[in-house]
Every structure is written in C-alpha cells, then in structure tokens.
Amino acid sequence: FHICDMAKPWPVALAVGLLSAQANVLEGWNMESIYRDIDMYIPSMNSSDVEYPKCEVPAGSGEFTGICIKQHRLKSMMTFCRDTVDYDACVPPHQPLFPEWNVTTKDALLRRLYKEQVEFRISVEMNITVDNAPVIRFTQNSPCLEAFRKVLCWFNFPRCSTSNVSMPLCRTACSNYYQSCKYEKIGAEYDACKDEVVKTKGLFESGLTGTTDVLLDQCFLEDGTGDCCTGSSALSLLSAMLGALLAAHLW
C-alpha cells in the first residue's frame, strides 16, 4: 500500500503500530547475535559454461537445465552419439557441485542403457517355445538397432535453434522408427505417431504425457538455417522399450 493513501488510513496505522512494537522488542538486544554474515553462503565457484545460453532438456519441458553448444565442440565429448548429434545441441553444463555429470557422462550412460536393453530384447526374442512366439524386431535387424541408438541420442540431446530453443522430435523420427522395426501400419501414418495418440499415451506410447510429448512435421526454420525439429533420418525402436527409457528422463 502507499503511505500517502489517506482514504484508507487503517493500514498505515497498523503498519506504524507493528513497527513501533518491533522497535520496543529489539531495544537492548545484541544485534550481532541476530544478524549473521552470509558471505559463507555465496558460491565461491561458477560454472565454466556460464556464458553459454540456457535451453530445455528435454525439449518443451520448461526445465532450463542445459546449455546450447556448437556442433564442432561436441564431437570431442561424445562417442556413442557422435555421428548422430550432427547439430548444435542442448547438453548438460559443467556444474561445480556435480562435476561428474557432463556431456561425456550422459553419452556413456546412454550407451550402457542401449546395450542392456538390446541384450534383453534379443534374449526375449530368442526364447521361442510352443506357447510363446515373440515378435522378432531386434534380432538380425541392423536398421532397427541403429534406429534405437539414434532416437535415444536425439531425444536426450535435442537440437538448438538459432535462437537457442530446444527442438522436439521430428514426426519422421517416429514413423521411421516403426517402419525399421517392422511394425504394421494401417493408413498413411503409424498410430503411435499421430498427435492424438502422442497426446494421450506419450511419445512412443511411453505412458508419459505433457509438454515434452510432441512430434513436429519436418520443416525448416524461416531463416533457412536449420530444421525446426530434432532427428529426420531413418530410425526405429521397440515401442515398449523406448517408452521405458524415455520415462527415465535422462537429463
């Protein structure tokens, strides 16, 4: 309220009364025992990446926990996703309190999860019995395995636009995923790649819904400097497996 607002003088009187009462209580106290030096709580270190623009991980999450890094710098930080992340990407910054978590660590984590899930799925597909005949998707299907790797990299390292905005997955990434792993398609598009299904069941039917579960049609930015979505080449993946990994939200 404004002190000069005389139309309603009672707030002013109340405030003055409270201040007077507080002054009486504090009179005679040792102020040094009340006020403490807070310099000890000021961080003594800053991130070495503080100059880089912030971005969302995953795209559309509203969580600005990443930074946009140029493609040429990323190449030396990755092995698993090196050839897939061929664009400026949103990646974990250097954090003084958690120095172990960085681009290289996240890349290695994706490699380990990929290996574990591929080995598990192939073991399921090889366990053929009279009563159990699992659908073969990964076994002796290199395009499907490559697609699995690509979609993990694209989702966890989203493209940064020229204005440093994280780009969602391309719809072609979803379509090519199901095509490479030999899913049945009824109509012009796979059901899991349709907007209404993504909205209700999440990306790759992961069960997670929200602002991060969006697919964009392939297009180019108005200034012609790049794509408006992440991932556009052929890829695929077993939907339940990918859904579980997306549910882990590795950012």
Q: Tens of pLDDT along 178-227?
A: 889 888 888 888 898 898 998 888 888 888 776 666 788 766 555 554 56
- Structure tokens that stand for 189 in this block: 């598009």
Positions of the chain with pLDDT lower than 50, given as ranges? 1-19, 225, 233-240, 250-251
Partners of 54 in the β-ladder: 67
Tens of pLDDT, residues 96-114: 888 899 999 999 999 999 9
* Cα–Cα distance, 40 to 224 (Å, whole number): 49
How far is residue 90's CA from residue 211's CA, in Å, rounded to a whole number?
17
